[in-house]
Structure 1
Amino acid sequence: MLGSAGTAKCVASLITYPHEDIRTRLRQPPPTDGPPKYTGLWRTLRVVIAEEGAQSLYGGLSAHLMRVIPNSAVMYAIYEAALRTNF
């Protein structure tokens, strides 16, 4: 059960992490000496891939996985345990 929850969260994170990275970049304050580098989702995606390569969208993924996989596994285990008890 824990392995299934961890695997599901790992796959979900691998699919959605580039969106999280782009969202983080869009939250950065704009430079004071010119126009903002990142202005929208698709433009940011194109700029990041052109300047840094597609692999940069997964920077920091290992730290993210170390945080979310155990959390997901424990939450699922507690949820299942709560369902099995009659409150």
Structure 2
Amino acid sequence: MLTIVRTEGASALYRGATPTVLGALPYEGIKFGTYDVLKRHTRSGEAAGVASQGPLWRASCGAFAAMLAHALTYPNDTIRRRLQMQGVNGEPVRYRGWMDCFRQIVKYEGWQSLYRGLGVTMVRSIPNTGIQFAVYEACKDFIFAFEAWRDA
């Protein structure tokens, strides 16, 4: 960290912070919103051998929610990484900001470059988010059961 501050200045520590914050809001909103819709409006998973609202069902809804959220917000991640990595190890600074980075990627590499690495991200995040929502729901169930026991 000190090397970065000495060689590139303190502002280099915050390179890519704007797209990180701006990307986290829609990603989390889409993820939690999709999870909630799936949880409330899907038919039970009993036809597939999964008990409705059981841990596996909840994990599946969470995994699908993550897939959708990543697919819709991944271009922002690509731009964020590019902004964070420019100027590192003597690489030239190529972009003047988020919009400039977006324009250059689309112009010189094609729009599909905005999705480069999405598959690996999905492989990593699908089980992670599925587990996240299964644990989240288990904790909620525990709290509700504890409150009911305490109030009884």
Task: Say yes or no: TM over 0.5.
Answer: yes
What is the one-letter code of the residue matched to 2:75?
A: P
Distance 2:115 2:140 in 1: 36
The match for 1:82 is 139
The match for 1:20 is 77
Q: Higher relative CO (CA 8 A, sep ≥ 6), structure 1 or 2?
A: 1
Q: How does 1:4-83 map to 2 (within 5 A)?
A: 4-30=61-87, 36-83=93-140
Post-superposition offset of 1:83: 1.3
Structure richer in helix, relative to its length? 2
Uncovered stretches (5+) of structure 1, i.e. residues with no partner: none
Distance 2:98 2:137 in 1: 37
Distance 1:4 1:67 in 2: 16
Distance 1:40 1:66 in 2: 29
Distance 1:75 1:3 in 2: 11
Give the alignment's TM-score, normalised by structure 2: 0.52
Q: Tell me the number of residue pairs that the alignment of Structure 1 and Structure 2 aligns.
A: 86
Distance 1:52 1:84 in 2: 48
Q: Could you give the per-residue CA deviations for residues 5-59 of structure 1, whole angstroms, max 9, x where no partner exists?
A: 111110000111100000000012338596x211211110000000000000100
What is the one-letter code of the residue matched to 1:65?
A: M
Larger radius of gyration: 2
Identical residues among aligned pairs (%): 34
Uncovered stretches (5+) of structure 2, i.e. residues with no partner: 1-57, 147-152
Change (3 A) 1:40 1:14: same
